Amino acid sequence: MQTDPQEDLRATQTSIKKDAEQVKTLEDAKGALDPADPRVEQISERVVDLTAALQAKAKAEHELSKEIQEAG
């Protein structure tokens, strides 16, 4: 079964927005903590994971955009 690139692009965009919102929420929470609080490190690790996922999704989004433009 072949997937629809435009549908994939929309789903990727939605996922990117969700991850970006999570990063903002985590950064806001981290900013409210004392820097010595051990939760700062835990939150920072989660942010690193999310931003790595964002990078991969952004690359996929770029490839899907190119695919759609080439097909159009």
pLDDT digits (tens, 9 = 90+) for 17-66: 999 999 999 999 999 999 999 999 999 999 999 999 999 999 999 999 99
pLDDT of amino acid 67: 92
Predicted model pTM: 0.86
User: Average of pLDDT values for 7-22?
Assistant: 97
> Is 15's pLDDT higher than 70?
yes
What b/e sequence results for 18-56 when a residue is b if at least 16 CB atoms lie within 10 Å of its CB, and e otherwise? Answer: ebeeebeebeeebeeeeeeeeeeeebeeebeebeeebee
How confident is the model at residue 2, as a pLDDT? 72
Please give the DSSP secondary-structure letter assigned to residue 2: P
* Torsions phi, psi for 32 (to 5 deg): -85, -10
